[in-house]
Structure 1
Amino acid sequence: MAQLSQVSVRAAARSVAMAPRKLSLVAALVRGRSVADALVILSHTPKRAAKPLLKLVNSARANSSFNHGLDESSLTISQLQVTAGSRLKRYRAGARGMSKPYQRRTSHVVVEVSGSLPAAKSKATVKPKTKEK
């Protein structure tokens, strides 16, 4: 019996315009689950952070099936990390003519999906049809 090999495929979204703390709250819901379960959970999560994560998991699923030929039913999220991206420093008008600084935070998200290759089909010899007279 041939052993199925595990293959992992990555997809990344860089500079997502959302704070990493908000994204990581939603990422914790789907970390370690199957891709099918993660897509259902993210599509029903009412937080704004669910939309970029849903798009990224869909992208990783499509990359694994079309580019690497993995079986979609065996896909699981093996790694999902959210890290801080660059910060944009901005100012807001404050009382008595002062300016109040704040930072627009961005995030980098990496999803790694692992799955198995489909079983190889046996090549049976097919005889061409002959015309009966």
Structure 2
Amino acid sequence: MMPAKASAKFVRISPFKMRQVANLVRGMNVNQAMSMLKLMNKGAALPIYRVIKSALANATDLANEQNPVDVDRLFVATIRADEGPTMKRIRARAQGRAYRVRKRTSHLFVELGQK
């Protein structure tokens, strides 16, 4: 089976927070990872869940008679949360000062393999 891939770009969550969740599901069975992400109380869990679901759909779409896909044998082979562009904003502070607020984004890449 060819590895099934999916990605999400410009996700409005910092890469640090995204990697905390990504490290938990790396190497996990797909069904187990998706059920864990559904119950997880982290903001990064929903985008990761959606990308894994998309990769699973890509895997079933790529399947044919020569390369059948057993969904129970799929696992998260690669998951990467890279840094996207940072939006810079200004926060007004006391006495005419201004603080810079960095709104970070992430690029998420998932690849599913078969055991």
Q: Which residue type is aligned with residue 94 of structure 1? A: R
Provide the secondary structure at the position in 2 that maps to 1:59.
helix
More helix by share: 2
Aligned: 1:23 with 2:18: yes
Deviations 1:16-71, CA, capped at 9 Å, x for gaps: 00100001111111000110110111011111110100111111111101233422
Provide the secondary structure at the position in 1 that maps to 2:41.
coil
Q: Which residue type is aligned with residue 42 of structure 2? A: K
TM-score by length of 2: 0.91
Q: Structure 1: 5+ residue runs without aligned partners?
A: 1-5, 117-133
Q: Name the larger-Rg structure.
A: 1
Offset of residue 102 of structure 1 = 1.7
Aligned: 1:100 with 2:99: yes
Report the equivalent of 2:40: 45
Q: How many residues align?
A: 111
Distance 1:7 1:40 in 2: 24
Report the equivalent of 2:80: 81
Match of 1:13 among 8, 12, 16: 8
TM-score by length of 1: 0.79
Distance 1:66 1:74 in 2: 16
Give the root-mean-square deviation of aligned CA atoms: 1.2
Q: Structure 2: 5+ residue runs without aligned partners?
A: none
Offset of residue 72 of structure 1 = 1.1
Q: Which residue type is aligned with residue 95 of structure 1? A: A
